[in-house]
Amino acid sequence: MTTIEAGELNRLRKNSLGVGAITFMVISAAAPLTAVAGGTPLGMLMGNGAGFAGTYLIVTVLLLLFAVGYVAMSRHVGNAGAFYAYAARGLGGLAGGATALIAILSYNAMQIGVMGLLGAATAGLFAGWGIALPWWVWSFIAIAIVAVLGYRQVDLSAKILTVLVLAEYVVVLILDLTILRTGGDSGLSAAPFSWSQITSGAPAIAILFCFAAFIGFEATTIYAEEARDPKVTIPRATYFSVILIGLFYMVTAWLMAVGAGVDKLLPALQGLQDPTTFLFGLSDRYAGTPLTHAMSILFVSSLFAGVLAFHNAVARYIYVAGREKLLPQTIGVTHSAHQSPHVASVIQTVLAAVVVGLFAVLGLDPVLALFSWLTNVATLGVIVMMAVASLAVVMYFRANPSAQENALKTTVLPGLTFIAFVIIIYLIVINFGSLSGAGGFLGVFLPSLVLIAAVVGAVALAGGLGAFALSFGGKGGSEAPVIVKADNAPIKVKPENPGGTVVPNQDNKVYDAVVKGTKPAEPVQEKLVTNTEEPVDVKAKEPESRVVDLSPADTDAAAGTDAVGNAAATAMPGVDAPGSADAAPAPKSEDRIAQVLQEADKGTNPEVVAVAPRKVRTMMVKPDGSLVAREDPAPEAASQVAAAEPADPAPQHVAPAAQAGAEQTGTVAPATDQASDQPTDQVVSADQTEAAQPLKPAEAPKAEAKAEAKTQAAHTQSANTPATVPVAPQRPSDQPVDVVGEVKPDQVASISPSAAAAGGGSWSMQIASQPTVESAQSTYQDLQRRYGSVLSGRTANIVKAEIAGKGTFYRVRVPAQSRNDAIALCTSYKAAGGNCFVSR
């Protein structure tokens, strides 16, 4: 199951249908075998006999003309609303709401009506096989199957319909070919297409039956949201659907008339107790019993394909009505996985089950009542929607001339089809009783359902139902209505500079001066930069110069000397002094410095102040913590301490930099012999000196005095100390120098938080944290026994940490020589089953 993005939860499944799938969905909704076996014989009997084939041709042409404007506007309407969307775009919201309710009524009526015929046909089929069940049992079984397929992905429904529709066409075409091959009863004849045959009998009723056979072709646009490239797929599917349905019905009706005989057709139909068996009789006569049995089975499957297709259509109309807030918004949602209109599908299923159950309880006939009444209401509603869509096409392109493609497609043909549909609607209304078999009150009430649906849809969209719901049970309107006022500020404000920002120095006066022929004044200076080269006398006497030290210490002295000196003496190299001769070029900086130093040493020029690099005393920090000048020999005490150290000295401890609320206790690895023999140059700042803490409480006064002396010395020399001080190259980068004091080498994981701290830059592996020192030490001993392969022979540091709001904790850390050693140690510890992390 794929995951759908949150933004796509309320959209149908895109790119799931191609031209073929949509075409089969549409022609299956027309139920081809149902129309041929049921609608065509009844249309011939009640309409114009053999001229029914010519009537199919006329209706096919009329629907193709309708499809021209219908398809032209489909490029501008890309949702599953079809007729509803057309009416809303072209005629406004009220017409859209009315059309939406008519569509929901019509497709529901068609689907539920065909469900009655499906139950009756299935009951008759299984009764021949010895299984006798009431018609409504089979209808409810069909409702359940359709509910599952409609709830899931639409392409599953398309696959089922494709197989069933192909089988229907195959059996009917086999019968057509056998009749065509044999020549029928009296030979092939074109009489069914003659005007006399078309206008014989009751052509109006024949036209109604033909339109009923085409119901569903307009459903191509409701799959626009699910089609691949809908602007190409929808028009092609629409034209293919009309042509395939029209040609199939027309040819089959012609061959049925030829098979029975043009002159014998009406007597043969009138002699049948059930005219819907006429096609099966022709099959027995021309193709044989096996084809008749297959046709009987496929007749049931054709009805099932029809109810499934109409279920999909009406579910999408209900879904769009909910999404557009014509119905509750909870209806206009799609399934998170299938992206099918599952809520609308469930609503249609429940409605079908209720109506079928009502007809079954009342004992009404599934064919003469349920099928006949509801399918004729559906036919009327669909033709009304076609008329509204034709008018909407004309009005839309009239209001949007930039979108208009061709006047013939967008105005002439839609206008003609609108007039034709209005005439057909009138014929249906006046002949509804004869068509449906419903007389009296039902003959008036059933067609009026279309008008009722239109009014309800318009009122619902206009907010009439919402206003009624708000006022029902209210306070009687005693409160003043809320007045919402628009902002008094103007919508558009004229800018201060309508012509835009004026570029400086580009006013008309400048251009006027140029136009009048005035020329700008000639520049006083010919060139901005003179690049003429002149020879230099390299043998000229060098001018007397003085070098001024710009260091802060000598600034005042230099300034005083400048004030009393003569001008010639203060001239800088390369600059002419007042009244002096031509100056020679300045010597190189190295020569100048050397010359100045020589004059300063000889004392020949007492006014010379050198700018040579200043000699600064560099201080060194010895292992005992004392500060000595680099030029001076190291103190004897320090030499003795260094000489007295053994080859493998005890571990040294370094006081770390001040840390907030934490102390460290631990043992670190000693420095190597080479590192201890070489003194390390360090510049100790006042902060670092003050941060050093004594190792032993008894030596605190002495250590503080020493630290204060170091601080004063550091402050005294800070102004003369360079920013960077060279470091001895042999000093190991990860081995700190002890500037506090010596710790006994046998000290192990001190449990006292006042013990010496580990090196501020040392790395360690933390393996535990306990609330007391004792528990921390006990924990380490337990871990050392458990993970002896890693911790055996190693000591641990107990680090005291003050955590705000939680108290004091003692962290158990195993020191390491470097960061890489700590990482390797922690990796080994984790491999053994322990938990740790590297810290510093």
SS3 labels along 468-491: HHHHCCCCCCCCCCCCCCCCCCCC
Q: Is residue 470 part of a domain?
A: no
Q: Is the pLDDT of residue 149 over 90?
A: no
Half-sphere exposure of 483 (CA within 13 A, CB side): 3
DSSP code at position 650: P
- As a whole number of angstroms, the distance between CA 278 and CA 271 comes to 10
Q: Are residues 733 and 752 in the same domain?
A: yes
Structure tokens, 272: 């049948």
Q: Which range, 36-50, 154-168, 172-186, 236-250, is most confident?
A: 172-186
Q: Are residues 595 and 733 in the same domain?
A: no
Number of domains in the chain: 3
Q: Is residue 576 part of a domain?
A: no
Higher pLDDT, 733 or 100: 100
Q: What percent of the chain has pLDDT over 70?
A: 60
Q: Which of 579, 613, 647 is the last residue of a domain?
A: 613
- As a whole number of angstroms, the distance between CA 271 and CA 835 comes to 96
Q: Is residue 649 part of a domain?
A: yes
Q: What's the confidence (pLDDT) of residue 109?
A: 92
Q: Are residues 593 and 637 in the same domain?
A: no
Q: Are residues 141 and 218 in the same domain?
A: yes
Instruction: Among 17-26, 421-430, 605-614, name the one with the lowest average pLDDT.
Output: 605-614
H-only helix segments in 261-339 = 265-270, 278-286, 289-323
Q: Are residues 609 and 623 in the same domain?
A: no
Q: Are residues 603 and 680 in the same domain?
A: no
pLDDT digits (tens, 9 = 90+) for 757-777: 344 457 899 999 898 988 898
Of the pLDDT bands very low, low, confident and very high (cuts 50, 70, 90), residue 4 is very low
Q: Is residue 519 part of a domain?
A: no
Higher pLDDT, 152 or 35: 35
Query: What stretch of H or E contains 797?
Result: strand 797-803
Find the CATH number of the domain harbouring 263: 1.20.1740.10
Contact 203, 57 (CB under 8 A): no
Of the pLDDT bands very low, low, confident and very high (cuts 50, 70, 90), residue 82 is low
Half-sphere exposure of 286 (CA within 13 A, CB side): 26
Instruction: Among 78-82, 262-266, 423-427, 705-709, name the one with the lowest average pLDDT.
Output: 705-709
Q: Is the pLDDT of residue 53 over 90?
A: yes
**404: Cβ contacts below 8 Å, ≥ 6 apart:** 397, 410
Q: Which range, 64-78, 195-209, 326-340, 727-741, is most confident?
A: 195-209
Higher pLDDT, 753 or 73: 73
Q: Which of 465, 482, 509 is the last residue of a domain?
A: 465
Q: Is residue 311 part of a domain?
A: yes
**364: Cβ contacts below 8 Å, ≥ 6 apart:** 370
Q: Are residues 675 and 822 in the same domain?
A: yes
Q: Is residue 489 part of a domain?
A: no
Residue 415's CB: how many other CB atoms inside 10 A? 15
- As a whole number of angstroms, the distance between CA 778 and CA 231 comes to 79
Name the nearest CA neighbour of 221 among 330, 399, 99, 376.
Answer: 99
Residue holding tokens 């199951």? 1
Q: Are residues 601 and 743 in the same domain?
A: no
Q: Are residues 667 and 607 in the same domain?
A: no
Contact 174, 404 (CB under 8 A): no
Structure tokens, 11: 């959209």
Q: Is residue 574 part of a domain?
A: no
- As a whole number of angstroms, the distance between CA 108 and CA 101 comes to 11
Q: What's the confidence (pLDDT) of residue 179?
A: 94
pLDDT digits (tens, 9 = 90+) for 498-528: 666 666 555 555 555 555 555 666 666 667 6
Q: What's the confidence (pLDDT) of residue 681?
A: 41
Over 487-532, what HEC string results?
A: CCCCCCCCCCCCCCCCCCCCCHHHHHHHHCCCCCCCCCCCCCCCCC
Q: What's the confidence (pLDDT) of residue 463?
A: 62
Instruction: Among 141-145, 380-384, 576-580, 834-838, name the one with the lowest average pLDDT.
Output: 576-580
pLDDT digits (tens, 9 = 90+) for 271-316: 887 787 899 999 999 998 899 998 988 888 888 888 888 888 888 8
Q: Are residues 217 and 340 in the same domain?
A: yes
Q: Is the pLDDT of residue 565 over 80?
A: no
Q: Are residues 599 and 625 in the same domain?
A: no
Report if pTM > 0.75: no
Q: Is residue 280 part of a domain?
A: yes
Q: Which of 415, 445, 465 is the last residue of a domain?
A: 465
Q: Are residues 195 and 240 in the same domain?
A: yes
Residue 324 lies in domain: 12-465
| 478 phi/psi in degrees, rounded to 5 | -75, -25
